[in-house]
Amino acid sequence: MDGFLPFFPLKLVAFPGEPLNLHIFEPRYKQLVNECLENDSTFGIPVFHNDNVLDFGTEMRVTNLVRTYPTGEMDINTEAVRAFKINSFEHQVEGKLYAGGKVTFLPNEMDGTNEQLDHLKQLAGKLVKLIHMDEELDVTAVAHSFELAHKMGLSLEQEYDMLQMTSEYVRQEYMINHLERALPLVREMELARERIKMNGHFRHLDPLKF
């Protein structure tokens, strides 16, 4: 399915279903957001990385205008709708201040299995426990991979790879592989941190018996 979206490039990946709070201060984006509010329309966040607008991004919907400032700046709540691929890019849409372009919206096949999701949650649970975040993040309540993606130590490049994946099964496999590689490294880092904390403290050592 194709469409046209105004663009608001950012150095982040927004995953479908994810809430995102934004402070709007540039004139071009004030215009963009005001039009979205007036027309109940959406905009796109293409991923901006290494001084370039990349080929994929996420359609966003404004869900709430939280605050308007005397300068016209705004605080808004948004929610990610679906991923897209950019087919054309206009640096300035005719008659507007902002960029925009034609996009193809990506399908999202929810074809993951319960067994696979359980495995992913088990690994994620080990990670959050290792980094002492288990009270802040309840991985048992996670329903799909996008809910974990920002919390598992993925780089921007890895998150961008995930955004392009149209299969939940593939995304879950990708995160499982990432966690299986990351967990041993995190364990080593936590052990090293504990050893560093012990430096300078008196320790009771059992005498060696020969």
Among candidate residues 56, 20, 61, the one with its CA nearest the CA of residue 43: 61
Question: Taking 60 as the threshold, does the pLDDT of residue 209 lie above it?
Answer: no
CATH of the domain at 62: 2.30.130.40
Q: What is the pLDDT of residues 107-121, one digit of tens each?
A: 999 999 999 999 999
Judge whether residue 137 has pLDDT over 70: yes
Q: What is the DSSP string of 56-81?
A: EEEEEEEEEEEEE-TTS-EEEEEEEE
pLDDT category at 189 given cuts 50, 70, 90 is confident
Report pLDDT for 208: 47
Distance from C-alpha of 143 to C-alpha of 115, rounded to nearest angstrom: 12
- With residues binned 3-state (H G I as helix, E B as strand, rest as coil), the percentages for the chain, rounded to 5, are 40, 30, 35
Q: pLDDT higher for 199 or 41?
A: 41
Range in 127-131, 155-159, 200-204 the model is least confident about: 200-204
| pTM, entire model | 0.86
Q: For the residues 166-175, what does the mean pLDDT come to?
A: 97
pLDDT at 188: 83
Residue 190 lies in a domain: yes
Work out whether strand 42-49 and strand 74-86 pair parallel, antiparallel, or are unpaired. unpaired
* Segments forming the whole domain that contains residue 125: 114-198
Beta pairing partners, 75: 23, 67
The alpha carbon of 83 is separated from its chain's Cα centroid by a whole number of angstroms, namely: 12
Q: Of the residues 105, 140, 172, which one is the last residue of a structural domain? A: 105
List, for residues 88-107, the tens digit of each pLDDT value. Answer: 999 999 999 999 999 999 99
Please say if the pLDDT value at position 130 is more than 90.
no
The residue out of 83, 105, 127 marking a domain boundary is 105
Q: Give the amino acid at 109.
A: E
Element (H, E) at 170: helix 168-198
Q: Is 108 helix (H, G, I), strand (E, B) or coil?
A: coil
Residue 14 predicted with pLDDT over 50 = yes
pLDDT of residue 171: 98
Q: CA-CA distance, 162 to 142, in Å (whole number)?
A: 17
How many domains is the chain built from? Answer: 2
- Same-domain check for residues 42 and 92: yes
Query: Domain for residue 173, yes or no?
Result: yes
Classify residue 92 by burial, with Cβ atoms within 10 Å: 0-12, 13-18, 19+: exposed
d(CA 84, CA 86): 7
